[in-house]
Amino acid sequence: MDTSAVEARLRADEEKDLLRFVTVGSVDDGKSTLIGRLLYDLGALYEDQLAAIRRASQKSGGVLDLSLVTDGLLAEREQGITIDVAYRYFSTERRKIIMCDTPGHVQYTRNMATGASTADLAIILIDARLGVLPQSRRHAFIASLLGIPRLVVAVNKMDLVGWESARFKELREDFARVVGKLAFRQVIFLPVSALHGDNVSRRGNTPGWYDGPTLLEVLETAPTREAPADIGFRFPVQHVIRPEDGKRFLAGTIAAGTVGAGDEVALFPSGRRARVAEVRGPDGALDKNARATAGMAISVRLGEEVDVSRGEMLASPSQPPRVTRELRAEVVWLHERPLDPGRSYLLKHTTQTVRADVVAIEHRVDLETLSEVPAATLEVNDIGAIALRVARPLFVDAYAKSRVTGAFILVDSVTNDTVAAGMIAPERADDRAALGGSSSSLSRTQVSARERAERLGHAPAVIAIAPGPRAEAFAFAVERALFDAGRFAAVADTPAVARALAAAGLVAVVVTEDAPEGALRASAPAADADDDPAARRLTGSLS
């Protein structure tokens, strides 16, 4: 074999651009079969893979089951569904492609959100017989929310409806009403048969009413990842290293922008400025005129000795990130345990992990109508908007401008489970006013108000006694009556202490004119302050 020809071919492959796409849609719409068909037609399957698929297919009637190309788990093959996210890599004459097959079942929507997070294009399949399903709308909404710019709507199993053009047109109009409310820049509709390969990589026996591109033609011509918004340089510090030469380097991956020796950068959260003395990549120091770009893993040496550690950020002084402890975000709730506004979570953003409190749930998205509806919580697979307050400042951009500095995950700090994926919304003028008050005076807790009430057997409350000569004695009489009635109660010295006790699930009694909002207000009786009937009547008003 001519080695020069091989080397030339390898160089040509390296110069091809890269497209990432994801297949989404409801269960049994044919996502895995579509990918299997595409790989099979392109000759991108190994002989041992084909042999294994043929053996497995013989057990189910002998028809080559191309869905098995990506459905590799035993449970997937037994049930005929996709559970895990599967990636496949291949090349065409024009470009390199990474494709991701994601589950269709509602319970695995979180897997779909994970697989779609880096895609340039999404292919959503619709069964021509069943039409647009709720999961189809959910996946389209998530794909739009994740910032995927282009959507290919593949109306699959057209062979099972006789390739009726009227049915394709009906589904196209139906789904166009859905995607018309979303943020896709381009939507392409294709009639296909993944099982037989029509309009996948070849036209096949397609009726004359469709003369558009095949799926492969779309994949080879669709624009790859467009240049991100110019937000300036962003470099979250992942690690501080000291090579053998004793110099101090800050290591990490560039989230946005470029950097080179001599650049001035700002350090966050301090805001201090420094000059970049050296940039090193995997192969050593970069030339003085070379620049490291977004996505590169590098290490940076500053000209000044400054205290910088993991979780901090280097950024453009002229285009700084938003430094904030309060933010709004769209989230996809991923956990079976619903969002609990009274519970504290951990928020992971770039290289920082901070404690976060949910200040408010602004709305939930009704996936039938794509409208915003009020919500007290978010259940698994729900999509909604929330307001958050974090313990330390974050250095963020809106997700629409940066998928890296605009994204985060929420983690249950007790179980370490990832419970939500979040996309930071642009800052609004009224954000600080909206986030001005906390939903709870107990700012750091892993036990929610609902859990406390269930354990204690009663809801929390604050009883404010108006000042007077018998007020203090009456407060203790109320505490005694509450305790005798089976409630956990305590007398507080100040309204702030009373709020903290109530946040911990107790009934707090406080003598004050400045009663907390929502407190039960009362005055001591003119008779003996130890008058049990008066105290018990007040206690009964809590029932």
CA-nearest of 383, 370, 399, 263 to 331 is 383
In sequence order, which ranges of 315-366 are alpha helices (DSSP H)? none
pTM of the model: 0.69
* pLDDT (tens digit per residue) in 344-359: 899 999 999 999 999 9
Which residues is 372 bridged to in the sheet?
Answer: 365
Which residues is 488 bridged to in the sheet?
Answer: none
Q: Which residue, of 383, 401, 434, is where some domain finishes? A: 434
Distance (Å, whole) CA 360 – CA 378: 11
* pLDDT (tens digit per residue) in 121-145: 999 999 999 998 888 888 888 888 8
* Residue 174 belongs to domain with CATH number: 3.40.50.300
Distance (Å, whole) CA 340 – CA 461: 19
The H-or-E segment that residue 257 falls in is none
Same domain, 104 and 247: no
* 44-56 per-residue burial string, b: 16 or more CB within 10 A, e: under 16: bbeeebeeebeee
Band of pLDDT at residue 279, cut at 50, 70 and 90:
very high
The H-or-E segment that residue 115 falls in is helix 109-116
Overall domain count for the chain: 4
CA atoms within 13 A on the CB side of 133: 20
* pLDDT (tens digit per residue) in 388-434: 999 989 999 999 888 899 999 999 988 999 999 999 998 765 454 34
Mean pLDDT of all residues in 474-489: 87
Measured from the Cβ of residue 322, the count of other Cβ atoms closer than 10 Å reads 15
Q: What is the pLDDT of residue 103?
A: 67
Q: What is the pLDDT of residue 243?
A: 77
Same domain, 271 and 361: no
Q: What is the pLDDT of residue 388?
A: 94
Same domain, 22 and 113: yes
Same domain, 149 and 286: no
Same domain, 465 and 393: no
Q: Is residue 478 part of a domain?
A: yes
- Mean pLDDT estimate for the chain: 82
Q: Is residue 335 part of a domain?
A: yes
Model confidence at 362: pLDDT above 70: yes
Same domain, 341 and 485: no
- Name all contacts of 412-417 with Cβ < 8 Å and 24+ positions apart: 412/335, 412/337, 412/345, 412/346, 413/344, 413/345, 413/346, 413/355, 413/446, 414/446, 417/335
Distance (Å, whole) CA 36 – CA 42: 10
> To the nearest whole percent, how much of the chain has pLDDT over 70?
81
* pLDDT (tens digit per residue) in 501-525: 887 888 888 888 877 767 788 887 7
Q: Is residue 112 part of a domain?
A: yes
More confident residue, 436 or 67: 67
Q: What is the pLDDT of residue 531?
A: 55
* 3-class DSSP state of 141: helix
Q: Is the dihedral of CA 179, 183, 188, 190 positive or negative?
A: negative
Same domain, 18 and 105: yes
**Cβ-based burial of 99 (10 A; exposed 0-12, middle 13-18, buried ≥19):** buried
Same domain, 55 and 84: yes
Structural domain range at position 368: 322-434
* Residue 401 belongs to domain with CATH number: 2.40.30.10
Measured from the Cβ of residue 210, the count of other Cβ atoms closer than 10 Å reads 18
Same domain, 177 and 267: no
> To the nearest whole percent, how much of the chain has pLDDT over 90?
35
